[in-house]
């Protein structure tokens, strides 16, 4: 309660400090973002017609009792959102009701990006530009308002987790990470970063206990409704087993392999992806450089990029956290403005085959672009974590190391 009161007080203070011109710009920008989403309201994706419409209709018809059965393969918190909407707005069109939680969360996610950028740039228009960059990013708009997906719900938790990590409030950071996982297990893409923060004592180990506590609390209403605990604890495994191909319209390294090798390469892919994650942890742990805010943001973006790129059975939407966090990255490192442009465009073109039945750029080519971005980010991170190595590189080879005198 105290942290919530502090949030509203700080928000009120920031709003008071806004000039009239900036206030008008933000109001106009938010209105345009809303109107853009309104303009896309009528599109019903195959996911809606085949799955989500049925979920929402079952919740409308059965009410709270619908949680007793496996009405959906999504985690319960999203279904609670649909249940609340069905109670508060029973006459709302199903398609609008399904999209509404994500559309509202677009603005919360953008707000947390705004607040995080303010830590880097306390004054000036940069935080406002970051807010608009998220609200008008093509994949952010398409994901929620057009497609009706919920990736922004867990990504908002990840952005809030990063914000509170930078604020050195580990309990709040872990609370938001727990909320993110409660909505979707893909929030685990940020787990390598949190492990680094734990090893570096930026996050207290006791604070991590709040993550499973939040998840257990999130499934409690469904347990009360009568759904077995085993079902709720195995939702993620069911989601993984639903798709058995190496890649599902995603621009990662498995776009370079034939689909006929899915069974043979799946286990090897898991081991390889885990190995890359292990290297990430070792490199970060062995560094003795201070973990500045910039270094933390670098670690964050690489964490949400390497797992969906190097692990098999990923989906086209799994780079959504990277889309949003790359925008944050660019405001911390303006010289790397091309990073979010590349990542968001790769995600956008990955959406094309499913949403529009149109492959503009082959996934194998998009994967090469994304791998290039990962290499650039990894090198930049290495120079941050090991500045002496970067200095030696700039100064040229050591003559003594080559046998000189």
In this prediction, residue 22 carries a pLDDT of 82
CA 89/CA 75 separation, integer angstroms? 22
121 domain-assigned: yes
Q: Is 78 exposed, middle or buried (0-12, 13-18, 19+ CB in 10 A)?
A: buried
pLDDT at 235: 76
Whether residue 210 contacts residue 171, with contact meaning beta carbons closer than 8 Å, is answered with yes
Q: What is the per-residue pLDDT across 80-127, written as a single tens digit (0 to 9) for each?
A: 999 999 999 999 999 999 999 999 999 999 999 999 999 999 988 999
Give whole-number Cα distances, 392 to 295, 381, 386, 395, 399, in Å.
20, 16, 10, 5, 11
Domains identified in the chain, total number: 1
Please tell me the distance from the alpha carbon of residue 276 to that of residue 306, in angstroms, as a whole number: 7
Residue 293 forms part of a structural domain: yes
The size of the chain, in residues, is: 405
Of the pLDDT bands very low, low, confident and very high (cuts 50, 70, 90), residue 242 is low
Q: Which two tokens stand for residue 234?
A: 């195995």
Residue 385 pLDDT exceeds 70: yes
Evaluate whether 313 touches 255 at the Cβ level (below 8 Å). no
Whether residue 76 lies inside any domain: the answer is yes
Q: Which residues pair with 248 in a beta bridge?
A: 315
The phi and psi torsions of 18 (rounded to 5 degrees) equal: -75, 135
What value does the mean pLDDT of the chain take? 90
Q: Does some domain include residue 3?
A: no
Q: What is the mean pLDDT of residues 163-184?
A: 96
Q: Rounded to an integer, what distance in angstroms lies between the CA atom of residue 167 and that of residue 175?
A: 14
Spatial separation of the C-alpha atoms in residues 301 and 324, rounded to whole Å: 9
Look at residues 376, 323, 269, 285 and name the one whose alpha carbon lies nearest to residue 113.
323
Q: What is the DSSP letter of 25?
A: H
The end-to-end CA distance of the chain, in Å, is: 67
What does the pLDDT look like over 39-76, one tens digit per residue?
999 999 999 999 999 999 999 999 888 888 878 888 89
Extract long-range pairs of 162-168: CB within 8 Å, 24+ residues apart: 162/116, 162/190, 162/296, 162/297, 162/300, 162/325, 162/328, 163/112, 163/115, 163/116, 163/119, 165/197, 165/202, 165/203, 165/296, 166/116, 166/119, 166/293, 166/296, 166/297, 167/119, 168/202
Q: Are 193 and 299 in contact (CB under 8 A)?
A: yes
Q: For residue 389, what pLDDT band results from cuts at 50, 70 and 90?
A: low
Residue recorded with tokens 């609200």: 135
Tens of pLDDT along 270-316? 999 999 999 999 999 999 999 999 999 999 999 999 999 999 999 99
CA–CA distance, 93 with 95 (Å, rounded to integer): 6
Give the confidence band of 130 by pLDDT, cuts at 50, 70, 90.
very high
Binned at pLDDT 50, 70 and 90, residue 17 comes out as: low
Strand partners, 314: 247
Would 289 be classed as within a structural domain? yes
Is pTM beyond 0.85? Reply is yes
Is 48 among the domain residues? Answer: yes
Per-residue model confidence as pLDDT tens digits over 184-227: 999 999 999 999 999 999 998 999 999 999 999 999 999 998 88
At residue 404, the pLDDT reads 38
For residue 314, the 8-state DSSP code is E
Instruction: Please give the residue range of the domain that contains residue 201.
Output: 44-385
pLDDT at 21: 80
In this structure, is residue 205 part of a structural domain?
yes
Q: Within a domain: residue 247?
A: yes
Q: DSSP for 376-398, please give it.
A: HHHHHHHHHH-HHHHHHHHH---
Integer CA distances (angstroms), 314 to 23, 242, 246, in order: 41, 12, 7
pLDDT at 253 exceeding the cut of 60: yes
**H or E stretch at 118:** helix 94-120
Which pLDDT score, from 0 to 100, does residue 240 have? Answer: 62
C-alpha distances in Å from residue 9, one per residue of 3, 17, 75, 266, 337: 10, 13, 32, 50, 33
């Amino acid at each position: 309660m105290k942290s919530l009161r502090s949030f509203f007080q700080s928000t009120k203070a920031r709003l008071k400090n806004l000039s009239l011109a900036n206030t008008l710009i933000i109001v106009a920008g938010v209105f345009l973002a809303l109107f853009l989403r309104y303009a896309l309201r009528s599109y019903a994706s195959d996911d809606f017609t085949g799955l989500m419409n049925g979920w929402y209709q079952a919740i409308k018809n059965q009410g709270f009792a619908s949680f007793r059965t496996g009405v959906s393969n999504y985690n319960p918190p999203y279904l609670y959102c649909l249940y609340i909407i069905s109670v508060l707005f029973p006459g709302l069109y199903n398609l609008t009701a399904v999209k509404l939680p994500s559309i509202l969360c677009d603005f919360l996610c953008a707000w947390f990006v705004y607040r995080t950028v303010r830590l880097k740039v306390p004054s000036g228009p940069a935080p406002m530009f970051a807010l608009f960059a998220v609200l008008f990013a093509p994949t952010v708009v398409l994901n929620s308002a057009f497609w009706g997906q919920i990736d922004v719900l867990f990504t908002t938790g990840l952005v809030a987790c990063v914000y509170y990590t930078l604020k050195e409030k580990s309990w709040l950071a872990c609370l938001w990470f727990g909320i993110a996982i409660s909505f979707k297990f893909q929030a685990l893409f940020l787990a390598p970063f949190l492990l680094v923060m734990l090893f570096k004592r930026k996050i207290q180990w006791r604070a991590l206990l709040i993550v499973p506590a939040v998840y257990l609390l999130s499934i409690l209403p469904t347990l009360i409704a009568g759904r077995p605990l085993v079902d709720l604890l195995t939702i993620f495994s069911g989601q993984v087993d639903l798709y058995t191909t190496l890649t599902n319209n995603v621009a990662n390294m498995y776009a370079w392999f034939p689909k006929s090798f899915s069974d043979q390469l799946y286990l090897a892919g898991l081991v390889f992806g885990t190995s890359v994650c292990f290297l990430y942890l070792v490199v970060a742990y062995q560094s003795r450089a201070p973990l500045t805010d910039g270094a933390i943001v670098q670690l964050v973006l690489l964490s949400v990029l390497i797992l969906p790129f190097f692990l098999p059975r990923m989906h086209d939407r799994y780079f959504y956290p990277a889309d949003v966090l790359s925008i944050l990255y660019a405001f911390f490192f303006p010289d790397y403005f091309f990073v979010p442009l590349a990542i968001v465009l790769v995600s956008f073109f990955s959406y094309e085959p499913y949403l529009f039945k149109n492959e503009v750029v082959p996934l194998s080519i998009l994967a090469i672009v994304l791998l290039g971005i990962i290499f650039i980010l990894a090198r930049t991170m290495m120079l941050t974590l090991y500045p002496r190595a970067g200095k030696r590189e700039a100064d040229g080879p050591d003559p003594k190391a080559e046998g000189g005198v």
